[in-house]
Amino acid sequence: MVRAELPEHATWEPIAPGVLRRRLPGLELNVAVVTGRDGILLVDTGSHEREAAELLSSLARELPTHDLPDRVVAVVNTHGHFDHCFGNAHVLDAFPDAQVWGHAGLPAYLAERADEGRAAGIGYGFDADLMNAARIVPPRHVVGTGEPVTLDLGGRDVVLYAPGRGHTDHDLVVHVPDCGVLIAGDIVEESGPPQFGSDAYAAEWSDSLGRVRELGAHVWLPGHGAVVDEEFVARQTRWLADVAAGRVVPD
């Protein structure tokens, strides 16, 4: 059951120097920030605009206590499922100059399937009025599959990488090379098994995840659930390969 309020423990938790995550109630969704001298990169924006508003006020409240900036200079959407990007509009209202990044396939996905996302959110127990009111803002800056883009946050490079099809046809991950962090979106899952929706590519997922593993990260933030290590991801890659080969049938 989705809870209406955030629990008190839902704070920004450092997972590496200047990289923090916040775990949202209900779906155990992880949002993350990567901080640089110029401001922060926000990875995913929550399920609706009120959730994004709460995220931003928590940033303003908590990041200065870590001596970190709270100004959003860029947003990355890991993919188009509602819980990862339906808060975009509110973030842009607050930070109109922020660049919104996503996979090159994300704008078309949102154009075709946003209503499906609203219905999914309502199905998971999110407030129907909030889901229906969420304005859909696609990324204006895009990353092609196999064509990494490096963002400079001021003294810190962050790499956006689209490894190929898996959880969706437009998965995008965020690599922070200076501390070995990989923000994976839903191509890695901890709070439950990987989700094969009608828009997933079971036969290709393990190969795409294998390409992400080649980046050599050692701290992985899944789209939902706890921070995991490379050994966990290696195990999940093998399970996905078993699914692709028909040796395992996911629920």
d(CA 87, CA 59): 15
Which of 21, 81 has the CB closer to Zn ion?
A: 81
Q: Least distance from C-beta 185 to Zn ion, angstroms?
A: 7
Q: Least distance from C-beta 95 to Zn ion, angstroms?
A: 24
SS3 label, residue 208: helix
Q: Least distance from C-beta 53 to Zn ion, angstroms?
A: 22
Cβ burial, residue 75 (10 Å; 0-12/13-18/19+): buried
Q: Are 151 and 38 in contact (CB under 8 A)?
A: no
Q: Least distance from C-beta 124 to Zn ion, angstroms?
A: 12
Q: H helices within 124-194, ranges in order?
A: 128-133
Q: Least distance from C-beta 196 to Zn ion, angstroms?
A: 10
- Lookup: tokens for 226: 């706890």
d(CA 228, CA 233): 7
Interface residue list for Zn ion (CB under 5 A):
81, 186
End-to-end CA distance of the chain: 20
Which of 143, 153 has the CB closer to Zn ion?
A: 143
